[in-house]
Each structure stands twice: as structure tokens, then as C-alpha cells.
Structure 1
Amino acid sequence: MAVDDRREYCRTAMSAKVKVCHEQLGEFVFSTRDISDGGVFIVVDNEPFAPELGDKVKVQVQGLPVPAPELDMVVVRKTIDGFGLQFGESVN
């Protein structure tokens, strides 16, 4: 790892569709770019999804033969093309 790289977990490239639910912004479906033991990066493109850092969301993988569990996540990083979400505590 580079000296200035603060990542705690190793990232693995993974493209999957995920549903992201935000209490105020609503429900969206995005593609993932990578995943790690700590979280996932979602590619937002031109969608009107602009959460604040620290916002809580629920995320569910789409396209599986059975419904995937909804995971509680927190927005921890914003880039020009998407957001880093970290596995978080229970969202109320």
C-alpha cells in the first residue's frame, strides 16, 4: 500500500446492481465498482443522488434468485463519479 493510502481493507473489483434507500432522497439503483470487508463503492453517474457524508442508507444487492438482505451503510466518501459506503450500525 502507498504511504498516503488510508484504506484499511483491500478492495476487490465487483460490478453488481444495488438498490440504495435514503430516508430523504428516496430509492435508487446503482452499479458497484468495488467491494471490501469495510464497504462498497457505488457509481452514481448522472442520478440526482447527493447525500451528505455521514448519512445512513440501506443497500440491497439486486438480481439474485432470492431477495438479498438489506444492509445498513454510512456514506463515508464522495468522488466525482460516486460514493464510498461503509458497513454501519443499524439504521432506524
Structure 2
Amino acid sequence: MDERRKFERRPSNIRVELWHPSIGKMIGSTQDISDGGASVMIEHPPIPPIGTVVEVRFRRAVGAINNEPVRMQVMHQHRNIVGLMFTPVPIDA
């Protein structure tokens, strides 16, 4: 495991819906996930740039894993793969 990582990554293949007001809806699937974030392969452009905060829903075959979207920030990007980090929700939200 990379020494910079705080959380252990686990391989996964979970359907993901990302949403951003200026980009719209993006569909992808996780490659791995941890308590700190996830690596997501996005099916079609556009790909959100580094620093973008998106709302994310994790899906299963029937229904969502999380009913309310979680906020995640794009920490890195390579082609159609983005590294997303869970971000805290502001107290006034």
C-alpha cells in the first residue's frame, strides 16, 4: 500500500452517478473504493476537471446504495478515470 494513503483500497465494481450543475449527469463505475474515496471510470465525456466537487450516488442493480448524494472532490484525473475524495458537508448545508 502506498504510504501516502490513509485508507486501504478495495477492488470494487459499483455503478456510480455523478452530477455537477455545469456539467450535468455522468455515469461510471468504481474500480476501487476506500473510506477516503473511490477511483471511478466514467463512461463518456465530459470528464470533470481536478478540483471539481460533484454529487455522487452509488447504485446497485435495483435502487441506490445511498439515497442522498454524497459530495466528492476530483483529486486526480487520467483519461476517463477520476480519483474522488469524500468531502465534508458544510455545517450550514
TM-score, structure 1 normalization: 0.81
2:84 paired residue number:
85
CA 1:49–1:7 in 2, change beyond 3 Å: closer, same or farther? farther
> Structure 1 residue 10 and structure 2 residue 17: aligned?
no
Q: Percent identity?
A: 28
Cα distance between partner residues in 2 of 1:11 and 1:62: 19
Structure 1 residue runs of 5 or longer lacking an equivalent are: none
TM-score, structure 2 normalization: 0.80
1:48 paired residue number:
45
Instruction: Describe the superposition over 1:32-51 as per-residue Cα deviations: whole angstroms up to 9, x where unpaired.
Output: 10000100110124x11222
Cα distance between partner residues in 2 of 1:66 and 1:30: 16
What's the RMSD between the two structures over aligned residues?
Answer: 2.1
Structure 2 residue runs of 5 or longer lacking an equivalent are: none
Of 61-70 and 10-19, the range deviating more from structure 2: 61-70
